[in-house]
Chains A and B, each alone.
Chain A
Amino acid sequence: MRRYTALITLWFIKALEYRSELIVWAVLTLLNTTVLLAIWISVFRGADTVNGYQIGQLLQYFLLATIINGITASHFENWRSKEVREGKIDHYLTKPIPYPIQVLLSDIGNRSFYMMLIIPVTLAVYFVFSLFYNLGAIVWTPWSIVQFVLLLAVGYIIEFSFALIAVFLSFWFEGAEGLEHFKWISISLLSGYMIPIEFMPTWMRSAVDALPLKYMYAVPIQVIQQRLSLTVYDFVYILSFLAGLIAVQVWLWKKATMRYTSAG
């Protein structure tokens, strides 16, 4: 266990080294949120309620989405894929911890530092908005906290898995890191990150209901807003999906190790 925590600490320290870049990313994330909030505020001009949402509830939705994004989103495809293509992962392969686990621990280390930046800032923005809009009180019950934390973990595993699959595919394809764009588009549209399910047309809502990406943003936010509670069906569905996702990664990694070559 100590070696795992040591790796997480190491990557946390490495993230500190790149703190100015992480601050820039945090500012850009907040800029995106600000523009999105401005758009929705303009949509609500002259109306108290749209599609069952009051303006405060919707602002709360997007601020919570920003916090969830800060905790769960993984963006290592680019540089990890480049390392694979350039044959620079030898030193990871000779270590007693499997490469995918090292990637996971490094991401947790990096993410921990980023969370320390983005969460307090978003909460400050949340506070400022609460002065001007009735964002509605969040009622925390032990069960809603458990569900929310579980869903955060699910969201992180999905994000991480998609990113890792893109890295594994770079063992075969040039430019596999570009797959992150497919990830962003799918998540932006189908998880409720950029648009709540209630604002989607019926056909799209059916698609989102059938897919597991809703457990990343739409469902955890609805759980916090007391609009929804997880059922046994949800748990079974989530577990089956995650098991399938992990099986794909294990299979890809086995194939990738057989394919990898490097000089030196």
Chain B
Amino acid sequence: MIKTIKKYWFLFWKFRSLRAMKLLEYRANFWFWVTVSVMWTFFNFFFFDLIVGARGNIAGWNRNEMYILLATFTMLDAFTWSFFYHNMQEYISSIFDGTMTLTLTRPISPQFLISVQANSYTNVPRFFIGLAMLLITIHRMQLQVSLLSALGFIAFCGISLLFVYSAWFIVSTFSFWVDRLENINELVPSTRRIWQVPKEVYTGFVSTLFTVVLPFALVASLPSEILLGKAMMHWLVFYAIFTFGLFYASTVFFKISVKKYSGTAN
């Protein structure tokens, strides 16, 4: 067991170093995309600042609380773009062009290999902008963050990443069932708009859809609520159970779907 964990741990970091080497090969490209991602980050803060300016709050979240939410969103989003987007893109492409055979014949878990083989470093500065914004806002609000709420925040950021990963993996796995749908990888990143705002923004049917059926609205809201001390236990429990269930469903769905795969030997 320990030997297996060591092997996967080694592989995980080996992929990271390979990607870092690739980054050094295309340095100008790296800096260009860093600029683009930083620009989008400032755009988001500025855009919501303008909206909050209209009435002083969005769905009861004042400017500082919105900054906490946006900072959390920025960090989670930076992580999803760095990791999930590139891995899922390669996963989908390998299904459509038949190179999935290579992954399936390796002596390790295909889902692990699919999920960690790629990444990009262009969103790393964005993650730190989010973190800096979070710390500055906590300081400005003079928010008393206990060790428990800090740990809760980190734990639920992790759960949110697992939720986004599982949803993305399920959507990408649908590629086994369709002939050609190149932009299937854009579906989950487009839901970022949903979790960029507090869950209270949604009301009625839309609220049920985005907080219970497909709880994307909870991704950044719940960790932020933990920090702000207004998280409700029933939401946290529901979200954690839903996420682990979704992760389990993603692995089962992959095992079923992979049987549909057909590719020539590479």
Query: Residues on A close to B: CB < 8 A?
Result: 20-21, 24-25, 28, 31-32, 34-36, 38-45, 47, 50-51, 174-175, 178, 181-182, 185, 188-189, 194-195, 199-201
Provide the bound-state CA to CA distance between A204 and B17, in Å. Answer: 44
**A181-B40 contact, Cβ under 8 Å, with A39-B51, A175-B29, A189-B47:** yes
Q: For residue B193, which residues in chain A have a CB less than 8 angstroms away from its CB?
A: 31-32, 35-36
Is B227 on the interface with A (CB-CB < 8 A)? no
Contacts of A181 in B (CB 8 A): 36, 39-40
Return the 10 tightest CB-CB contacts between A and B, nearest first: A42-B59, A35-B193, A28-B190, A42-B201, A181-B36, A21-B183, A38-B201, A185-B43, A24-B183, A175-B29
Assembled-state Cα–Cα distance A237/B158 (Å): 52
Does residue B53 face the partner (Cβ distance < 8 Å to A)?
Answer: yes
Residues of B within 8 A of A41 (CB): 203
Contacts of B33 in A (CB 8 A): 175, 178
- Assembled-state Cα–Cα distance A10/B190 (Å): 30
Interface residues as binary, B169-187 with A (CB distance below 8 Å gives 1, 0 otherwise): 0000000001011111011
Interface string of B190-215 (1 = CB under 8 A from A): 11011011001111001000000000
Q: Pull 23 A–B residue pairs with CB atoms less than 8 Å apart, ordered by A.
A: A21-B182, A21-B183, A24-B181, A24-B186, A24-B187, A25-B183, A31-B193, A32-B190, A32-B193, A35-B196, A39-B58, A39-B197, A42-B203, A43-B51, A50-B54, A174-B26, A175-B28, A178-B33, A178-B36, A181-B36, A182-B36, A189-B43, A199-B51
B55 within 8 A of A: yes
Contacts of A185 in B (CB 8 A): 39-40, 43
Q: How many chain B residues touch the partner (CB < 8 A)?
A: 37
A43 contacts which chain B residues (CB < 8 A)? 51, 54-55, 58
Partner of A174, one of B29, B43, B55: B29
Task: List the A side residues contacting B51 at CB < 8 Å.
Answer: 39-40, 43, 195, 199
- Return chain A residues, CB-CB under 8 Å to B26: 174
Secondary structure class of chain A's binding surface, majority of residues: helix
Q: How far is the CA of A35 from the CA of B194 in the complex (A)?
A: 6
A174 to chain B, nearest CB (A): 6
- Please report the C-alpha to C-alpha distance between residue A70 and residue B238 in the assembled complex, in whole angstroms: 38
CB-nearest residue of chain B to A195: B50
Q: CB distance A174 to B28 under 8 Å?
A: yes
A115: min CB distance to chain B, Å? 18
Rounded to whole Å, the gap between the CB of B167 and the closest CB of chain A is 14
Of all chain A residues, the one with the shortest Cβ separation from B200 is A42
Q: Give the chain A neighbours of B202 by CB distance below 8 A.
A: 38
How far apart are the CA atoms of A148 and B203 in the complex, in Å? Answer: 34
Asked if B9 lies at the interface with its beta carbon under 8 angstroms from chain A, I say no
Nearest-Cβ distance from residue A26 to partner chain B, whole angstroms = 11
CA distance A181 to B32 in the complex (A): 11
Contact yes or no, B53 A201, CB < 8 A: yes
Structural contact, A28 and B29, CB atoms closer than 8 A: no
CA of A178 to CA of B38, assembled, Å: 13
B197 touches A35 (CB 8 A): yes
- Distance in angstroms from B199 CB to nearest chain A CB is 11
12 other A-B residue contacts (CB within 8 Å) besides A28-B186, A194-B47, A201-B53:
A25-B186, A32-B190, A35-B193, A35-B194, A42-B203, A47-B55, A50-B55, A175-B29, A175-B32, A189-B46, A199-B51, A201-B50
CA distance A45 to B201 in the complex (A): 10
A143 to B50, CA, bound (A): 33
The proximity string for B residues 215-227 relative to A, scoring 1 for CB distances below 8 Å and 0 otherwise, is 0000000000000
- The B119-134 residues at the A interface (CB cut-off 8 A) are none
CA distance A41 to B59 in the complex (A): 9
Distance between Cα atoms of A39 and B199 in the complex (Å): 10
Q: Nearest chain B CB to A183's CB is how many angstroms away?
A: 11
Question: Which residues of chain A are near B183, meaning CB under 8 Å?
Answer: 21, 24-25
Nearest B residue (CB) for A204: B50
Q: Complex: how many Å from CA A181 to CA B65?
A: 28
Contacts of A24 in B (CB 8 A): 181, 183-184, 186-187
Chain B, residue nearest A200 (CB): B50
User: Across the two chains, which residue of chain A brings its CB closest to B50?
Assistant: A195
Tell me which residues across on chain A come within 8 A of B39, comparing CB atoms. Answer: 181-182, 185
- A188 vs B44: C-alpha distance when bound (angstroms): 11
